[in-house]
Structure 1
Amino acid sequence: MEVRILGPIEVLIGGTPVRLAKRQHRLILGILGIEANREVSSGRLIELLWPEQPPARPRAVLHSRLSELRAMLRVAGDGPAQPSIVTGDDGYALRIPTPAVDAHRFGQLIIDARGIASDLRARDVLRQALELWRGPVLGGWSPAGPAGALVSSLEAARLTAIEDLYEVELRLGNHRSIADELVALSAAHPTRDRLTSAVMLALHRAGRSAEAVSVYHQRRVWLSTELGVDPAPALQNLHVAVLRHDPALDQVAGPGALDRSA
């Protein structure tokens, strides 16, 4: 069984999608997938599924939904060896090999990439990890309050992986091919300093220094208007370096940068 939560929630058994009849079935499986092999209390599941107005007997309804979900997975599966939803002391857990959950596979690939000395190989692993994403976590479902950490931490990890990827691409001298992608990404995430730095550097190296300066000014105005703060010192220094056409900004490792540990 494969559980996909980096996008619309999906379950595949033997490569075949399993139809989950109700939204609550999908959310339960998505939550348990994020917490794979860890028990999630009934209270927490109820809070996540019905944050505003739980049913009159929420534990009974939750139990019913889990029974339905188990039955669907059992019918679609191939016997007792299939991963399963088990009942714990005060909740439920999805017993499944963690690589069968795309979010956990993503996390492991990111760890692997950061341990690779070769920029070329690290780039390939980072792209492999990011290709697992088919859309927002859990299909865009985002619980309010503290429960939102379920999805926000994964979304933040994705942005960090994107930043890692583009920094590798810049080291490899691929500034022209990524500049326009970075313009859109940095505009969508104005609080991410690493994305802003990356797009400024990519534009400058691609001979588009005026656009790099414009990106900085747009970000400075946004930060001042929305958050009442100035750009970080590192961004300010980069801005000055772009204005001065500092030759150090043009230094790239190039495609021969195979080993950062050398």
Structure 2
Amino acid sequence: MKFFVLGSLAVTDGATPVDLGGLKQRAVLGYLLLHANQVVPNSRMLDALWDGQPPSTARKMVQNAVSAIRRVLASAEQTCSAELVTHAPGYQLHVAQNDTDIHRFRSLVHKGRDAVGSGAAVRGAHLLREALCLWRGRALADLVEQGTVWSELSAVEDERLTAQEDCFDAELQCGRHREITPELEVLTAAEPLRERLCVQFMLALYRSGRQVDALNVYRRTRNALVDGLGIEPGPELQALQHRILDHHSSLQVPAYA
């Protein structure tokens, strides 16, 4: 079986989608997958599923969901290595790491960063793009649409954004500033307070011959930071603005790109 959380929750048995049942059953499985191979205490599960206000029947509902998930795992036509066990003080979902898209994502990101760090920016960018292509939407998007709000989901989404920023850095090293400008425009609009994205967008615009647009992005970001958080842009962003005004040679595409 393969398990997918980078998008709507999904499980496949070979190439066949598996019916995961109702919302609570899907939520229990999704939460366990976010903590795969870790013991999840009952109290933590109940708080997550009912936003800190579980009803008196909550523990029984989780037990029923666990039983149903075990039946799903047992019904696999192909060999299923996953196992959901009771482990005091809660439950533990044993699953092979390569059977989850979130592990494959993290592994590819790690390899991509290592490649960039060793000077292989082209390979690093390729690996990071491969990792990002595993995403099919927001993590556990179907549960989020039903009102699920977990800190773990925010953390996973931040992993995705950081991987995108790492990928943009690698592609800027490779001279692909024009190719990534449309993506950066969308992301900086969605994440106006994320300064690293702003730096990347300004640099991509400048290298594309769009100095005025790059400076406009700086002004927009500064206004968002001052109005939203009451702070000025950080040193890196301010320094980039000055280098753009000075047409500093350090802003050119690296010679090895």
Q: What TM-score results when the alignment is normalised by the length of structure 2?
A: 0.92
CA contact (8 A) 1:171 1:253 kept: no
Give the RMSD, CA atoms, in angstroms.
1.6
1:92 aligns with 2:91: yes
Identity in percent: 37
Q: Quick one: which of 183, 198, 201 aligns to 1:199?
A: 201
Q: Which amino acid aligns with 1:111?
A: H
d(CA) in 1 for partners of 2:162, 2:236: 18
Deviations 1:236-259 (A, max 9, x none): 11011111222221142444xxxx
d(CA) in 1 for partners of 2:206, 2:61: 58
1:113-262 pair list within 5 angstroms:
113-116=112-115, 117=118, 118-139=120-141, 141=144, 143-144=148-149, 148-255=150-257
d(CA) in 2 for partners of 1:42, 1:22: 20
1:12-91 pair list within 5 angstroms:
12-51=12-51, 53-78=53-78, 81-91=80-90
d(CA) in 2 for partners of 1:52, 1:87: 22
Q: What TM-score results when the alignment is normalised by the length of structure 1?
A: 0.91
CA contact (8 A) 2:73 2:82 kept: no
Deviations 1:58-105 (A, max 9, x none): 2111101111121123223446x5311111111111111112111111
d(CA) in 1 for partners of 2:194, 2:9: 27
Q: Which moved more, 1:106-115 or 1:122-131?
A: 106-115
Query: 3-state DSSP class of the match of 2:11?
Result: strand
CA contact (8 A) 1:39 1:93 kept: yes
d(CA) in 2 for partners of 1:51, 1:77: 36
Deviations 1:31-57 (A, max 9, x none): 111111111111111111111542322
Query: 3-state DSSP class of the match of 1:132?
Result: coil
Q: Which residue of 2 aligns with 1:109?
A: 108
Unmatched 5+ stretches in structure 1: 256-262
Q: CA deviation at 1:174?
A: 0.8
CA distance change for structure 1 residues 160 and 69 in 2, over 3 Å: closer, same or farther?
Answer: same
Deviations 1:170-224 (A, max 9, x none): 1111111111221111121122211100000000000011100000000011111
CA distance change for structure 1 residues 253 and 39 in 2, over 3 Å: closer, same or farther?
Answer: farther
CA distance change for structure 1 residues 96 and 77 in 2, over 3 Å: closer, same or farther?
Answer: farther
d(CA) in 2 for partners of 1:253, 1:57: 65
d(CA) in 1 for partners of 2:188, 2:51: 33
d(CA) in 2 for partners of 1:152, 1:228: 24
Q: Which residue of 2 aligns with 1:258?
A: none
Q: CA deviation at 1:235?
A: 0.6
d(CA) in 2 for partners of 1:61, 1:213: 55
CA contact (8 A) 2:125 2:170 kept: yes
CA contact (8 A) 2:46 2:59 kept: yes
d(CA) in 1 for partners of 2:255, 2:20: 49
CA contact (8 A) 1:37 1:93 kept: yes
Query: 3-state DSSP class of the match of 1:76?
Result: coil
Q: Which moved more, 1:22-31 or 1:158-167?
A: 22-31
CA contact (8 A) 2:47 2:53 kept: no
